[in-house]
Amino acid sequence: MPQSYAYFSPGESCRQAINNHINSAKKNLKICVFTISDDMITQAILAAHHRGVAIQLLTDNDKLLDLGSDIIELRKAGINVKVDNTSNHMHHKFLVTDDSSIITGSYNWTRSAAKFNYENIIVSTEQTLVHDFIIEFERLWNLMSDYNVAV
């Protein structure tokens, strides 16, 4: 039976829900976020990568080189990263875990989001929603540019 839950920040509940889903991944993670600068989330992603979980990461070029951004670290670890290099923003914030659940909402994957900001996420296993997010992810994946850094 599909289930959905809401989480709110400031506080640890959003970050904890994201990390729980990353930690539970068995096959794959499709991550589509404006930026990542929360080291706790980054460490969970790296741990999943080291467990053999296939990870695809879509992000925006605008925050890519900001102080604190973890995108380069993730790419150097061997995670497949694609970047929106257009003048527009890839401003989504969602995660698909094992093609069976999604996390989406206003929550930025940053330290400030957990500590200060009023934000939210929704976690759902409703398969129509999951399917729609997979389709959007794949559409964007095909549009974005590979991000390569010296590793």
Give yes or no: 99 in active site: no
Task: Tell me how many domains the chain contains.
Answer: 1
Domain that holds residue 72: 4-146
- Spot the catalytic one: 27, 91, 115, 131: 91
Could you report the per-residue pLDDT of 118-145, keeping only the tens digit for each?
A: 999 999 999 999 999 999 999 999 998 8
Please tell me whether the overall predicted TM-score, pTM, comes out greater than 0.85 for this model: yes
Task: Indicate if 91 belongs to the active site.
Answer: yes
Report yes or no on 56 lying in a domain.
yes
Assigned domain for 151 exists? no
Nearest Cα to 101, choosing from 14, 21, 15?
A: 21
CATH number of the domain residue 99 falls in: 3.30.870.10
Residue 100 lies inside a defined structural domain of this protein? yes
What is the average per-residue pLDDT within 19-42? 97
Query: How, if at all, do strands 28-33 and 54-60 pair?
Result: parallel
Is residue 113 a part of any domain in this protein?
Answer: yes
Task: Tell me the pairing of strands 93-97 and 101-104.
Answer: antiparallel
